Structure 1
C-alpha cells in the first residue's frame, strides 16, 4: 500500500461524503478508492468510516485521524510546492465556481490574460448562482456576493459593488418614470424580480438615502433565480429591476437600459473569494485570488477591507 496515496484518498472521501464523489474528484475508479481505504484501515487496525448504501459517516477514530493527516498532507503540499518552484510557476488544476453574470461579463472575457500570465494552470469554471459545497464538490474557491455566514470558510473581500435601478426605454415609455421608490410599490409599475436559488425567497428592492431605508416588494411581472437571465429579462422591457452597476453598465452606455431613482440605492454589496479553512492555499490559488482582486478593482464602490 502507498500510505500517502491512501491518506489522500481517505481525506477526499471524508470531504466528499461518498466514495463515488471522491472517486470522481480524484479521477480514480471507485473500486480503487474503496480498496485503498480498506487497506489503510487494515494497516491502522481501526475502523475509519461507517459505510451505508447512500453515505459515508466518519467514526470518532476516523475524525481524529483525518484532522491530523490533513495537516500532514498540507505540509507535504508545501514541500512539493517549494521543490518544484511552484511559487514562480504555478501549475495544475484549479476548480473555481462563480455566479453567472460575473462569469460571462467579467471573468471569462479576461481569461486570455490570466492564462497568458500562468500558462501551466488548468482552470475549471463552474458557472451557477446556486451555492456549492466547496469540500464535497472539490471546489478550490468560489466568487460570491454577500456577507460570509459559514465560519468554516475563509473569505477575502475583493470588491464592494454598487447597485443601480433601471428599465428598458420601451417600458418607461409605456409606464412612465418612477420618481421615488414608493412608486414601485403602488401597483402602477412591474418589477423583474430575483429570488434565491437556495431558499426560493424573493429579494426585495432595497433603497437608502440618508437615514431613510426602504424595502419594496412590488408587483413582480417575472421572477428569475439566475443573474444573466435577470439581466436578459430586464432588457426585454418587462419591468423595473435592481442589479449591480457593473452588470448594467454596458447597456446604460448603449441606451438599452435607463437608470432611474438616482440618489436612491442600497449600501454597496461585498464580493468575496471564498475557500475552505482546510484547503491548502497553494500558489495557483493564491495567484488566482490576487488576479481576481485586480480584475474587480475597477468596479469598486470603495476599496475593500483586507
Structure 2
C-alpha cells in the first residue's frame, strides 16, 4: 500500500463527501479511490468511513485520523512548495468561485497577467452569486464581498469597493432625483439585490458624517444575480446600489447617473476564502499572493486597465 497516496485519497473523500467527487478531483478511477481507502482501513484496523448507497459518513475514528493526517499532508505540502519555488513554476488545476460582477469587472480582466506569470496553472472558474460549499464541491478558494460568518474558513481581506446609488436618466426624469435617502420610500422604484441563500432583499445603505441609514422599502423588482441586477437598472427598471468599479463605464457614458453621492455607504469588503483544514497547494499560494497584489486597486477603481 502507498500510505501517503491512501491518506490523500481518504482526505479528499472526507472533503468532497463522496468517492465519485473525490475521484474526479484527483483524476483517478472511482474504484481506485475505494481500494486505497479500504487498504488504509485494513492497515489501521479501524473503520474510517461508513458507506451507503446514498452517502459517505465519517466515523469518529475517521474524524480523528483526518485531523491528524491533514496536518501531515500540510507539512509535506509546505516542504514541497519550498522546493518548488526554487525549482520552477507551480502547476496544476485551480478551482475558483466568484460572483458575477466581480468575475466580469475585476478578476477576468486581471487574469491574463496571472496566466502569463504561471502558464502551467489551469483555472476552472465558477461564476455564481450562490453560497458554495468549498469542501464538498472541491473548490480551492472563493472570492466574496460582504460580511463573513463561517469561522471554519480562512479569510484574507483583499480589498474594499466603493458603492454607488444610480438610475437611468429616463427614470430620473420620470420620478425625480431624490435629495435624501428617505425619499426612496415615497414613489420611487427600487431594484433590490436578493440573497440567493435566504431570499432576503439587501437593504439600501447610506452614510454621511457618521450618520447611517438603512432603507428597507418594498422593491419593484428583486434580482439574485449581480449581472442581471445591474442590467435591470440599465433597462430603466429603477434605482440600484452597486459597485462603483462596475458602474464606471455606464456613469461615464451617461447611461446611468449617480444619485445621493453625498450619502455613499461605507466601503464594501472583499475576501478570498479557503478551507481551514485543507492543505494549501503551491499553486493556491501564488494565486492568493497575486490576488492580494492586484485586486485592491481594481475594486477601488484606481486601475483603469
Q: What TM-score comes out, normalization by structure 2 length?
A: 0.93
- For 2:130 and 2:91, the matched residues in 1 are separated by 28
Deviation at 1:87, TM superposition (A): 7.3
Please state if 1:189 is matched with 2:188: yes
Aligned pair in 2 of structure 1 residues 162, 156: CA closer, same or farther (>3 Å)?
same
Contact 1:107 1:295 in 2 (8 A): no
Contact 1:190 1:218 in 2 (8 A): no
Structure 2, unaligned runs of 5 or more: none
Matches within 5 A, 1:8-87: 8-85=8-85
Aligned pair in 2 of structure 1 residues 293, 78: CA closer, same or farther (>3 Å)?
closer
Aligned residue for 1:260? Answer: 259
Deviation at 1:86, TM superposition (A): 6.2
Deviations 1:232-261 (A, max 9, x none): 111001100111111111111111110001
Deviation at 1:103, TM superposition (A): 0.4
Query: What secondary structure does 1:137 align onto?
Result: coil
- For 1:2 and 1:294, the matched residues in 2 are separated by 39
Query: What secondary structure does 1:101 align onto?
Result: helix
Structure 1, unaligned runs of 5 or more: none
Q: What TM-score comes out, normalization by structure 1 length?
A: 0.93
Aligned residue for 1:272? Answer: 271
Please state if 1:227 is matched with 2:226: yes
Aligned residue for 1:173? Answer: 173
Query: What secondary structure does 1:284 align onto?
Result: helix
Q: State how many pairs are aligned.
A: 301
Contact 1:156 1:273 in 2 (8 A): yes
After TM superposition, the structure 1 stretch with the greater mean CA deviation from structure 2, 135-144 or 52-61, is 52-61
Deviation at 1:283, TM superposition (A): 2.8
Contact 2:19 2:30 in 1 (8 A): yes
- For 1:11 and 1:121, the matched residues in 2 are separated by 23
Query: What secondary structure does 2:220 align onto?
Result: strand
Please state if 1:286 is matched with 2:285: yes
C-alpha root-mean-square deviation of aligned residues, in Å?
1.8
- For 1:222 and 1:268, the matched residues in 2 are separated by 25
Deviation at 1:119, TM superposition (A): 1.1
Aligned residue for 2:156? Answer: 156
Please state if 1:295 is matched with 2:297: no
After TM superposition, the structure 1 stretch with the greater mean CA deviation from structure 2, 206-215 or 129-138, is 206-215
